[in-house]
């Protein structure tokens, strides 16, 4: 029997990717009064397999399309969408170093098209999913707050910053109800195996070495994807229009620490670790001060990192066909070219 009693409609862009698909799973499971429309043009990072169990759900509809396509966006938004959550993006720093045309097209122009559509159809909230990378890089001390000046260092983070500034300007100029969230590094199920944790797990499962950039001492602040998704729901329900909320796991780790934890979980030794040429312009340290969302909205991350990492590794062990289908030659060629790594 259909439970189609939902009265509110949410547009999730980029919902076939890593965080968007986790967000849709969570929403269908826990937010019974919301219908979800997912708009995704299925780039290399978008995978309908991530939404397999959702496709027949009575409160879900998938639309293949581009956030930069005005007629498509307008048509969807005019179907009664109340809230837009914009996850759609080109999201990988290394790819942006190789060439950033798609990053500008999707992350900047696509956001502009969505903003115009959302403004025209008078949505109640436009939520822009941004990143801690817009703040640039930290030295050994301090954390990013919402007041930290924007100083992006990679073409990816520059494109995300441009989008943030557009979103901010639409609030200031048109009083559009917008919110920006800036989250730290996510890990969990369905992450494309070009990012640190799934790349290393899938390499180790295939008995391949793991390429650590530079000295391996760059620091990231890791958060489980479900903690991020719950933070996004907290912001939808309680956030103030015009505000920025940082989201973080309060969990700083060097890449070397992460690598050693994965080696331990998978029972491999350090001979599997290979130091390779550093990423050009590699940001040294990210760390989020999430006290605003914690004190004002009452959100806190729940997942213990070691437990979350073990669960994530187990997910990749249980879903080998998912990642083996993805690990084709196309993106590996870039790694060979850029870092001289032979897979
Ligand atoms: P992802 O690369 O896994 O997924 C991106 C999704 O967007 C894919 O499904 C892709 O097909 C879709 N997409 C790309 N271009 C599109 C377009 N023009 N039209 C429609 N769909 C398009 O990314 P992710 O890791 O899930 O990140 C989601 C969002 O969260 C991004 O905006 C990213 O900047 C942000 N973010 C990610 C992290 C992280 O650690 N992964 C951390 C902070 C913020
Ligand atoms: O093979 C690798 N070896 C390595 O040492 C890869 C892929 C990464 N690294 C390092 C680079 C970074 O210091 O690991 C760290 C994490 O790298 P990524 O997984 O590529 O993430 P990062 O560059 O930190 O960006 C991520 O977090 C912020 C997401 O990809 C972004 O979308 C998000 O905005």
What separation in Å is there between the alpha carbon of 154 and the centre of ligand 2?
A: 12
Give the position, in ligand 1's atom list, of the atom nearest the Cα of 156. 34
- In sequence order, which residues have a C-beta less than 8 Å from that of residue 167 and are 6 or more positions away? 111, 115, 126, 128, 178, 180
- pLDDT (average), residues 125-146: 98
Active centre residues (catalytic): 132-133, 156
What separation in Å is there between the alpha carbon of 14 and the centre of ligand 1?
A: 6
C-beta 323 within 6 A of ligand 1: no
User: Residue 334: what pLDDT?
Assistant: 54
Pocket perturbation via mutation, ligand 2, pick of 14, 93, 332 by most ligand atoms within 8 A of CB: 93
Percent of the chain beyond pLDDT 90? Answer: 92
**How many domains, the chain?**
1
* Whether the predicted pLDDT of 7 surpasses 70: yes
C-beta 291 within 6 A of ligand 1: no
Residue given tokens 């959100």 in the structure block: 299
Instruction: Answer for the pair 130, 166: CB distance below 8 angstroms, yes or no.
Output: no
Dihedral (C-alpha) 226, 306, 142, 131: value to the nearest 10 degrees? Answer: -30
Could you tell me how far CA 177 lies from the centroid of its own chain?
22
Give the position, in ligand 1's atom list, of the atom nearest the Cα of 90. 14
Distances (CA, A) of 68 to 41, 105, 109, 213: 10, 8, 6, 34
- Give strand ranges (E) for the chain: 8-13, 34-40, 60-64, 81-86, 125-131, 178-183, 186-187, 210-213, 219-221, 223-224, 244-247, 252-254, 273-276
d(CA 297, CA 195): 30
Neighbours of 148 (CB within 10 A): 18
Give the position, in ligand 2's atom list, of the atom nearest the Cα of 131. 34
What separation in Å is there between the alpha carbon of 196 and the centre of ligand 2?
A: 5
* Whether the predicted pLDDT of 2 surpasses 60: no
What separation in Å is there between the alpha carbon of 69 and the centre of ligand 1?
A: 17
The 10s digit of each residue's pLDDT in 97-126 is 999 999 999 999 999 999 999 999 999 999
What separation in Å is there between the alpha carbon of 43 and the centre of ligand 1?
A: 10
User: Residue 341: what pLDDT?
Assistant: 54
Instruction: Answer for the pair 110, 68: CB distance below 8 angstroms, yes or no.
Output: yes
- In sequence order, which residues have a C-beta less than 8 Å from that of residue 318 and are 6 or more positions away? none
Dihedral sign for Cα atoms in the order 291, 292, 295, 299 = negative
Position 6 confidence tier, pLDDT thresholds 50, 70, 90: low
Residue given tokens 């914009």 in the structure block: 86
The 10s digit of each residue's pLDDT in 39-83 is 999 999 999 999 999 999 999 999 999 999 999 999 999 999 999
Dig out the tokens for 88 from the structure: 């759609």
C-beta 103 within 6 A of ligand 1: no
User: Residue 1: what pLDDT?
Assistant: 34
Give the position, in ligand 1's atom list, of the atom nearest the Cα of 50. 9
Neighbours of 228 (CB within 10 A): 24
User: Residue 325: what pLDDT?
Assistant: 84
Q: Is 48 helix (H, G, I), strand (E, B) or coil?
A: helix
d(CA 10, CA 84): 6
pTM reported for the whole predicted model = 0.95
Position 3 confidence tier, pLDDT thresholds 50, 70, 90: very low
* Whether the predicted pLDDT of 18 surpasses 60: yes
Give the position, in ligand 1's atom list, of the atom nearest the Cα of 160. 34
User: Which amino acid residue places its CA nearest to atom 21 of ligand 2?
Assistant: 195
C-beta 153 within 6 A of ligand 1: no
CATH number at residue 180: 3.40.50.720
* Whether the predicted pLDDT of 273 surpasses 60: yes
Its domain, for residue 292, covers 3-339
C-beta 186 within 6 A of ligand 1: yes
User: Residue 270: what pLDDT?
Assistant: 97
Distances (CA, A) of 222 to 149, 246, 258, 286: 22, 13, 10, 10
- In sequence order, which residues have a C-beta less than 8 Å from that of residue 214 and are 6 or more positions away? 275, 277, 278, 279, 282
The 10s digit of each residue's pLDDT in 183-212 is 999 999 999 999 999 999 999 999 999 999
User: Which amino acid residue places its CA nearest to atom 28 of ligand 1?
Assistant: 87
What separation in Å is there between the alpha carbon of 45 and the centre of ligand 1?
A: 8
Ligand 2, CB cutoff 6 Å, lining residues: 91-93, 131, 133, 185, 195-196, 199, 211-213, 218, 220, 255, 279
């Amino acid at each position: 029997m259909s439970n189609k009693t939902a009265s509110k409609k949410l547009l999730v862009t980029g919902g076939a990717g890593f965080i968007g698909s986790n967000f849709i799973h969570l929403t269908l499971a826990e937010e019974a009064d919301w219908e979800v429309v997912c708009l995704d043009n299925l780039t290399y990072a978008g995978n309908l397999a991530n939404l397999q169990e959702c496709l027949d759900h009575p409160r879900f509809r998938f639309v293949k399309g581009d956030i930069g396509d005005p007629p498509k966006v307008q048509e969807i938004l005019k179907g009664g969408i109340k809230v837009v959550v914009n996850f759609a993006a080109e999201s990988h720093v290394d790819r942006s170093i190789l060439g950033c045309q798609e990053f500008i097209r999707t992350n900047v122009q696509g956001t502009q098209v969505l903003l115009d559509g959302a403004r025209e159809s008078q949505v109640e909230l436009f939520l822009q999913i941004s990143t801690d990378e817009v703040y640039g890089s930290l030295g050994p001390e301090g954390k990013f707050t919402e007041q930290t000046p924007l100083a992006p260092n990679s073409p990816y983070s520059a494109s995300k910053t441009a989008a943030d500034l557009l979103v901010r300007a639409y609030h200031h100029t048109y009083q559009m109800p917008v919110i920006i969230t800036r989250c730290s590094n996510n890990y969990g199920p369905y992450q494309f195996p070009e990012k640190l944790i799934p790349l290393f797990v899938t390499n180790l499962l295939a008995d391949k070495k793991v390429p650590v950039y530079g000295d391996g001492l760059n620091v990231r602040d890791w958060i489980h994807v479900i903690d991020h998704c719950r933070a996004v729901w907290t912001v939808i329900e309680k956030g103030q229009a015009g505000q920025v909320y940082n989201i973080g796991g309060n969990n700083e780790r060097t890449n070397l620490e992460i690598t050693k934890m994965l080696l331990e979980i998978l029972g491999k030794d350090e001979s599997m670790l290979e130091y390779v040429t550093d990423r050009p312009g590699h940001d040294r340290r990210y760390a989020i001060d999430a006290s605003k969302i914690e004190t004002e909205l009452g959100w806190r991350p729940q997942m213990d990192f070691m437990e979350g990492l073990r669960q994530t590794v187990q997910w990749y062990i249980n879903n080998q066909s998912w990642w083996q289908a993805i690990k084709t030659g196309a993106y590996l060629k870039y790694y060979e070219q850029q870092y001289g790594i032979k897979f």
